[in-house]
A and B are shown apart, each in its own frame.
Chain A
Amino acid sequence: MFGTALIVFREVLEAALIVGIVSAATRGIAGRARWIVGGLLAGLVGAALVAAGAGALSQLAEGMGQELFNATILGVAVLMLAWHNIWMSSHGQALAANAKELGGDIRAGARELSVLLVVVAAAVLREGSETVLFLYGVAVSGETSASTMMTGGAVGIAGGVLVGYLLFRGLLRIPLKWFFTATSALVLVLAAGMAAQAARFLIQADMLPSLASPLWDTSAIVSNGSMTGKVLQGLMGYDARPSGMQIAFFVAVLLVIGAGMAWVKRRPPATSP
């Protein structure tokens, strides 16, 4: 049971961290809970579908369907987070200045939240499908009883959700003055890390050259298998042995979104979105 719980926890952790950050980053936008729950549900349904179609998926694109699928999901999430951050850099100040006025900005809020629904759904979909497959394997092998498996799975999921929730609570304690700067920075790094992970999948599929791999090796300090490594991987795509291409993707996304944010901020505050 403990083994099952641990593996499920590791799979759930990354999605939980992403949902924690997104939940915090949307602070003050009316109706966000509905959208986040919507994203979770959509992701869970998607995860079950992906797990059921795993066989078919892996046959696509000359056996590289899975890599392409993962890279695409990550790519979509990067685009959505980029949009979120750029939007926030023009609205974040206003949100911080007067949280009460937000009711009037519902249309902008809805569009913004639909973007984050996609991010949440993508995170849950990707990690969730692996969890479903793992639990399915445990169930089919018949080595452990269904109740042991269910308990292990539930403990693992609960652990992951708890970490995500703690991150969320922790972020909310940041003073409002710094809050949007802090969450924007987190989202920025999160997006860049996802881009680097997408690059890794494309390298694995032999669709991108690795460009010097590894560029460096910090696995002796923090390995990706350790809990710290897992958390860092979830937060910023940490890879103890990154390839040149991964770093290139990371830096490029960081620069592009950063430039977008700076550009929007320089313009006079938008009256309508």
Chain B
Amino acid sequence: MRRFALLVCTLSAAAALAAGEPEFKLSLENHKFTPDRIEVPAGKKVKLLVENKDATPAEFESESLKVEKVIPGKGKATVFVGPLKAGEYKFVDEYNEKTANGTLVAK
């Protein structure tokens, strides 16, 4: 799968873009997500890039998205979700659930 993606990449940058999963960025600062509401296409695997700008570690977690990943302080993490059915999916930083929460909307 990965090798295939690489091959496509060398053939044509445009084709590589088409083959890769759409990417979405999220960041955590002062234990809050920006944006705290993010829209992604339904029925497709999606790549989420989460950056933790705080000095303390976070655990990016979503029951409904089936994601659980520790992000070190000042660190970044990549997670793959989906393909998702249309709907709303909540996510949190489990270590700071009260402030750090957001919703992903699949359309």
Contacts and interface: CB of A to CB of B under 8 A. Distances in A.
Given A206-B45, A206-B80, A241 B71 contact: no
A119 B76 CA distance: 30
A31 to B, nearest CB: 36
A64 B78 contact: yes
Contacts of B69: 66-67, 204
A141 B52 CA distance: 14
A248 interface: no
Contacts of A241: 63-64, 66
A225 B98 CA distance: 15
A141 B66 contact: no
Contact of A219 (B55, B64, B77, B95): B64
B70 A130 contact: yes
A7 interface: yes
B94 interface: yes
B64 A137 contact: no
A154 B55 CA distance: 24
B77 A63 contact: yes
B41 interface: no
Contact of A58 (B56, B75, B96): B75
A154 B49 CA distance: 34
A133 interface: yes
A108 to B, nearest CB: 38
A195 to B, nearest CB: 16
A203 B72 contact: no
A136 interface: yes
A213 interface: yes
Interface string B54-82: 01111100011011111111011111101
A58 B70 contact: yes
B83 interface: yes
A208 B15 CA distance: 23
A7 B66 contact: no
Contacts of B63: 219, 223-225, 240-241
Contacts of B66: 200, 203-204, 213-214, 239, 241, 243
A20 to B, nearest CB: 23
Nearest to A59: B75
B67 A54 contact: no
A66 B70 contact: yes
Contacts of A165: none
A204 B68 contact: yes
A90 to B, nearest CB: 37
Contacts of B78: 63-64
A58 B68 contact: no
B83 A54 contact: no
A83 interface: no
Nearest to A214: B66
Interface of B: 1, 45, 55-59, 63-64, 66-73, 75-80, 82-83, 94-96, 98
Given A54-B72, A239-B66, A241-B64, 5 more contacts: A55-B75, A58-B75, A64-B78, A134-B94, A206-B1
- Going nearest first, the 7 A-B pairs with the smallest beta carbon separation are A137-B56, A55-B72, A206-B80, A133-B57, A63-B78, A224-B63, A54-B72
